Chain A
Amino acid sequence: MSLLKVENLSVRIAGVTPVDDVSFSINAGEAFALLGESGCGKSMTALALMRLLPSGGRIASGGVGFDGAALGTLPESQMRSLRGSGMAMIFQEPQTSLNPVITIGEQIAEALPAQMPGGEQKAEVIKLLQEVGIKNPESRMHSYPFELSGGQKQRVMIAQALAGRPKLLIADEPTTALDVTLQAQILQLIKRLAKERGMALLLITHDLGVARYMADRVGIMYAGQLVETLPVDPDNGLEGAFHPYTRKLMAALPSLDRAGQRLAAIPGRVPSLNQKFSGCRFADRCAHVFAPCAETPPAWNSLDQGHAVRCHLAGQPDSQVEPEVAPALKVIAPSEENVLSVRGLCVTYTQRTGQLFGKKSIRAVDGISFELSAGETLALVGESGCGKTTAAKAILGLNPISDGNVELDGQRVSQLSERQFKPFRRLAQIVFQDPYSSLNPRMRIGEILLEGMNSLKVGGGAGRSQAVAELLEKVGLDPSAMTRYPHEFSGGQRQRIAIARALAVQPKLLICDEPTSALDVSVQAQILNLLADLQREEGLAMLFITHNLAAVGYLAHRVAVMKEGKIIETGTTRDILTRPEHPYTKGLLASVV
């Protein structure tokens, strides 16, 4: 008998159907992961189970059965008593998910069963905090959330979820907002607690690795629908997946083994959900599309025990999905031409202190040195706050340098005034992490691409619009994009535009600051492919700033690991990823699940 049974659930909000006809069930003590890219409806499904949909959203059809009760028709007062004690939820953003002006002890106590007497409550809170690995729980329970680190806050969130002794724990991207090094710890904690308490777990995630590590069974969502459910094989993980989308997703993951190959990218974009679908929602992006795909929505086909898929191919006799082949690319060795040379770079901030007129300085970058040649990619790896972005901005002359030396293309550029620096600006350009804040929403794409050429006097007046068209084609966009505004493009397309903008002034060095960490797996593959192509064609030197070690393995020639403003280890990618020496690097690699 299953604990949670979701049948044909549909959610409507503001004229859109973000969840459409989703059915699955979770047994007591089982861990189930809903896996999908952003916008596929996985979080909305979880919120619908809790009946906590954002205002304007409602369950349009279908039913949810939980522990013998039908949640759809339950009066709000009974639903409320079910929240916390029946099913509890952990959210993605520990920074904002705790009330900032109430102590964590009180917040956990609120979630305890109401009839518990005061004295017992305190003991229970301390026990819970201990259980989730918070040290000194007696004093910590009087802390406010702002006094805790991000990882500790997520532990408090977990303690809070456990307080009501729920039978089902829903974890919505519990580690996405946390640093890589914390990911494994938090996931292990959740896994251990679920096992100890016999809780069922519903994990919402976009990360194949996380789903494979945590779940007994995985459901893959695409465009508001569940397209495949399959058990996780202890040895092969999700290798047995059938749906072309699932297989593409797995092939799109970058890794050290795939270095020098083209990643499998899914063409096109996820269809918008405010339309009626006549056939398979994946049809126009699918490599295996055939006659019925466009006309009839696929039905569920059962393949093995617990493995079902919503795909027309599965209905075909002797259907066999051949493995994704990644074509190998011609490898070009970096040249000897030195493009960037950094010697003892220091960046210092001053911060006002409590003293009258008092100031203290903080060293964000503390004497780093490295070299970079044309056609070479150096990955700068580290946790958030380690100074890697600050260093990049300092190299570009966007942050003042307090000490050290930067040479671009053999010319010293550190300690120059804005005016003196301008002639060197075209040598180095940058691509940012967030594709939404990196393009001015009030400028047309053409104007965005022209800005750098105009400012740095690259190319002649008439040739420039021709150059814009060529740039757009180079990054895989139609030249007609020129007259449109950024909001008309998806995240991946915007990132292409941002790359085109940087290339517009024909730089020799391209700094990529977490260029794919805001993107979905399939889009990430497109961007990584594009960057690899560009480097091969243009001989660009790339400084690749990231915390994503898989992408590093795929793209970089060399790696430098940064911690607290210093480079602690550097070497070739293969050496660092397979034989790390510094304990911090070892920890970093171990934290990837």
Chain B
Amino acid sequence: MIRYFLRRVLYAFPILVGVNLITFFLFFVVNTPDNMARIHLGVKHVTPEAIQQWKAEHGYDRPLFLNRERSGFDSVTDTLFVDRSQKLFSFDFGKADDGRDIARDIKTRMWPSLAIALPAFIVGLMVNITFALLIIFYRGTRLEYAGVVGLIALMSISGLFYIIAGQYFIAKLWQWLPISGFGEGINAYRFILLPVLVSVVSGIGSGARWYRTIFLEEIGKDYVRTARAKGLSELRVLFRHVLKNGMIPVLTGAVVVLPLLFTGSLVTESFFGIPGLGSYTIDAIRSQDFAIVQAMVFLGSVLYIIGLLLTDISYTLVDPRVKLS
């Protein structure tokens, strides 16, 4: 078990280095620090000295990959890339353009994200499974056909539509819930309900359809025929045999996104004014704040890799055939 973890961590390391290399390439090789300085300083103040000073202030005054002024091992290590990577790996994300500490921002903003994403995820999972099972139960009838076409129609609607329609009808027209914002304490749930509802509804189409395919594949297997030949009722076949097998890919597929719930949803948070990591990211993209985007990319990758690890562990929990090795 410990050996297994060790190996997984060893595998994860090169992936994070790769992620880092990609973002570094995107941000600093295509868009050099000189360019960034020019953009930030504005047209008027561009003098070579000002650029140098801006670079020194923001820590961009070293060469990208190879420091010719240093010799030996230092020529590779005393560079912007290694410096940045070291900081990222120690979760020191530096400062945003407006001078705020990114790491602290992330720490405070992940909780509102989680407050929306976690309930949306759990309710969504249950709703999708229920719909999928219902459609499976009525398979071979017209109800199934209608259900499948309905799901396809649901997944053909833009996610933005669900948000805008939800805000317009539920919040503006009928005034059941606040249109956007986020609160602390006892009334916080009022702000959470609508985003969660919208997220769940917009996920039904693709989610339930996917689960239906999984369950349908299980139902065609030989052991289901054996179960029926034993004289078990259709409900028992469905719940005890099909569901137990079908839940393996469903659950392990869900586990991989579990850590990513911390980073929230970009669009939902932005529309509903949730002060979470999603809206943080979207604001950073719009204001072209590369430091924040890079930090979020790194964070996302770390969480994804943790998700992969959790997936493997969850397999051993739900599938007796799999042992960690």
Q: How many A-B residue pairs have CB under 8 A?
A: 81
Q: Are A101 and B231 in contact (CB under 8 A)?
A: no
For the complex, what is the distance from the CA of A102 to the CA of B230, rounded to whole Å?
A: 15
Interface of B is mostly: helix
Would A102 and B229 be within 8 Å (CB), given that A97-B222, A97-B223, A356-B7 are in contact?
no
Q: Are B223 and A99 in contact (CB under 8 A)?
A: yes
Chain A proximity of B38: nearest CB distance (Å): 49
A50's contact among B3, B139, B229, B233, by CB below 8 Å, is which? B229
For the complex, what is the distance from the CA of A354 to the CA of B229, rounded to whole Å?
A: 39
**A577 CB-CB contact with B under 8 Å:** no
**B245 CB-CB contact with A under 8 Å:** yes
Q: Are B3 and A356 in contact (CB under 8 A)?
A: yes
Chain A proximity of B215: nearest CB distance (Å): 14
For the complex, what is the distance from the CA of A353 to the CA of B231, rounded to whole Å?
A: 42
Chain A residues with CB under 8 Å of B185's CB are: none
Chain B residues with CB under 8 Å of A55's CB are: 139-140
Chain B residues with CB under 8 Å of A160's CB are: 226, 230
Q: Give the residue name and chain of the A residue nearest to B221 (CB).
A: A96
Chain A residues with CB under 8 Å of B226's CB are: 91, 97-99, 157, 160
Chain B residues with CB under 8 Å of A93's CB are: 222
Q: Are A91 and B245 in contact (CB under 8 A)?
A: no
For the complex, what is the distance from the CA of A164 to the CA of B230, rounded to whole Å?
A: 8
Q: Which of B223, B229, B318 has the most CB of A within 10 A?
A: B229
For the complex, what is the distance from the CA of A157 to the CA of B241, rounded to whole Å?
A: 16
Interface size on B, residues (CB 8 A): 28
Chain B proximity of A118: nearest CB distance (Å): 17
Proximity bits, B231-270, A CB within 8 Å = 1, else 0: 1110000001100110010000000000000000000000
**A82 CB-CB contact with B under 8 Å:** yes
For the complex, what is the distance from the CA of A350 to the CA of B229, rounded to whole Å?
A: 42
**B321 CB-CB contact with A under 8 Å:** yes
Q: Are B320 and A89 in contact (CB under 8 A)?
A: no
Which residues of A from 318 to 375 have beta carbons under 8 Å from B?
353-357
Chain B proximity of A108: nearest CB distance (Å): 9
Q: Are B233 and A80 in contact (CB under 8 A)?
A: yes
**B186 CB-CB contact with A under 8 Å:** no
For the complex, what is the distance from the CA of A97 to the CA of B227, rounded to whole Å?
A: 9
**B6 CB-CB contact with A under 8 Å:** yes
Chain B proximity of A101: nearest CB distance (Å): 5
Which residues of A from 108 to 155 have beta carbons under 8 Å from B?
110-111, 144, 146
Chain A proximity of B320: nearest CB distance (Å): 5
Chain A residues with CB under 8 Å of B245's CB are: 99-101
**B101 CB-CB contact with A under 8 Å:** no
B319's contact among A98, A101, A164, by CB below 8 Å, is which? A101
Q: Are B3 and A101 in contact (CB under 8 A)?
A: no
Chain B residues with CB under 8 Å of A82's CB are: 231
Chain B proximity of A115: nearest CB distance (Å): 13
**A280 CB-CB contact with B under 8 Å:** no
Q: Are B244 and A101 in contact (CB under 8 A)?
A: yes
**B45 CB-CB contact with A under 8 Å:** no
Would A356 and B6 be within 8 Å (CB), given that A85-B231, A89-B229 are in contact?
yes
Chain B residues with CB under 8 Å of A559's CB are: none
**B71 CB-CB contact with A under 8 Å:** no
**B104 CB-CB contact with A under 8 Å:** no
Proximity bits, A70-90, B CB within 8 Å = 1, else 0: 000000000011111100110
For the complex, what is the distance from the CA of A144 to the CA of B322, rounded to whole Å?
A: 12
Would A91 and B248 be within 8 Å (CB), given that A83-B230, A146-B321 are in contact?
no
Q: Give the residue name and chain of the A residue nearest to B248 (CB).
A: A101
Would A80 and B231 be within 8 Å (CB), given that A99-B241, A144-B321, A354-B3 are in contact?
yes
For the complex, what is the distance from the CA of A96 to the CA of B245, rounded to whole Å?
A: 13
Chain B residues with CB under 8 Å of A50's CB are: 229
Q: Are B228 and A110 in contact (CB under 8 A)?
A: no
Chain B residues with CB under 8 Å of A98's CB are: 223, 226
**B40 CB-CB contact with A under 8 Å:** no
For the complex, what is the distance from the CA of A292 to the CA of B107, rounded to whole Å?
A: 90
Q: Are A110 and B230 in contact (CB under 8 A)?
A: yes
Chain B residues with CB under 8 Å of A456's CB are: none
Would A146 and B228 be within 8 Å (CB), given that A98-B223, A100-B223 are in contact?
no
For the complex, what is the distance from the CA of A80 to the CA of B319, rounded to whole Å?
A: 29
Interface of A is mostly: loop
Q: Are A96 and B231 in contact (CB under 8 A)?
A: no
Q: Give the residue name and chain of the A residue nearest to B7 (CB).
A: A356
A97's contact among B3, B7, B225, B318, by CB below 8 Å, is which? B225
Which residues of B from 103 to 160 have beta carbons under 8 Å from A?
139-140
Would A84 and B3 be within 8 Å (CB), given that A96-B222, A101-B319, A146-B321 are in contact?
no
Chain B proximity of A90: nearest CB distance (Å): 9
Q: Which of A82, A83, A98, A101 has the most CB of B within 10 A?
A: A101
For the complex, what is the distance from the CA of A43 to the CA of B154, rounded to whole Å?
A: 41
For the complex, what is the distance from the CA of A89 to the CA of B325, rounded to whole Å?
A: 38
For the complex, what is the distance from the CA of A160 to the CA of B228, rounded to whole Å?
A: 12
Q: Are B222 and A84 in contact (CB under 8 A)?
A: no
For the complex, what is the distance from the CA of A356 to the CA of B233, rounded to whole Å?
A: 47
Q: Are B228 and A164 in contact (CB under 8 A)?
A: no
Q: Are B3 and A91 in contact (CB under 8 A)?
A: no
For the complex, what is the distance from the CA of A80 to the CA of B235, rounded to whole Å?
A: 12
B223's contact among A52, A96, A111, A164, by CB below 8 Å, is which? A96
Chain B residues with CB under 8 Å of A164's CB are: 230-231
Chain A residues with CB under 8 Å of B241's CB are: 99, 102
Q: Are B231 and A52 in contact (CB under 8 A)?
A: no
Chain A proximity of B1: nearest CB distance (Å): 10
For the complex, what is the distance from the CA of A50 to the CA of B232, rounded to whole Å?
A: 13
For the complex, what is the distance from the CA of A88 to the CA of B230, rounded to whole Å?
A: 7
Q: Give the residue name and chain of the B residue nearest to A55 (CB).
A: B140
A81's contact among B3, B229, B231, by CB below 8 Å, is which? B231
Chain A residues with CB under 8 Å of B229's CB are: 50, 52, 83-84, 88-89, 91
Q: Give the residue name and chain of the B residue nearest to A157 (CB).
A: B226
Which residues of B from 64 to 98 have beta carbons under 8 Å from A?
none
Q: Are A84 and B225 in contact (CB under 8 A)?
A: no
Would A91 and B6 be within 8 Å (CB), given that A84-B230, A144-B321 are in contact?
no
Chain A proximity of B91: nearest CB distance (Å): 27
Chain A proximity of B74: nearest CB distance (Å): 32
Q: Give the residue name and chain of the B residue nearest to A96 (CB).
A: B222
Chain B residues with CB under 8 Å of A96's CB are: 221-223
For the complex, what is the distance from the CA of A451 to the CA of B308, rounded to whole Å?
A: 44
Chain B proximity of A252: nearest CB distance (Å): 30
Q: Give the residue name and chain of the B residue nearest to A88 (CB).
A: B229
Q: Are A101 and B320 in contact (CB under 8 A)?
A: yes
For the complex, what is the distance from the CA of A88 to the CA of B318, rounded to whole Å?
A: 30
Chain B proximity of A53: nearest CB distance (Å): 10
For the complex, what is the distance from the CA of A574 to the CA of B231, rounded to whole Å?
A: 50
Which residues of B from 192 to 236 have beta carbons under 8 Å from A?
221-223, 225-233
Q: Which 5 A-B pairs give the minimum distances between C-beta atoms?
A: A84-B231, A83-B231, A354-B325, A96-B222, A111-B230
Residues of B at the A interface (CB closer than 8 Å) are 3-4, 6-7, 139-140, 221-223, 225-233, 240-241, 244-245, 248, 318-321, 325
18 A-B pairs with CB atoms under 8 Å apart are A52-B225, A52-B228, A55-B139, A80-B232, A84-B229, A91-B225, A96-B222, A96-B223, A99-B223, A99-B226, A100-B245, A100-B320, A101-B321, A110-B227, A144-B320, A164-B230, A356-B6, A357-B7
15 new A-B contacts, CB < 8 A, other than A85-B231, A355-B3, are A52-B229, A82-B231, A84-B229, A84-B230, A91-B222, A91-B226, A93-B222, A97-B222, A98-B226, A99-B245, A100-B320, A101-B248, A146-B320, A157-B226, A160-B230
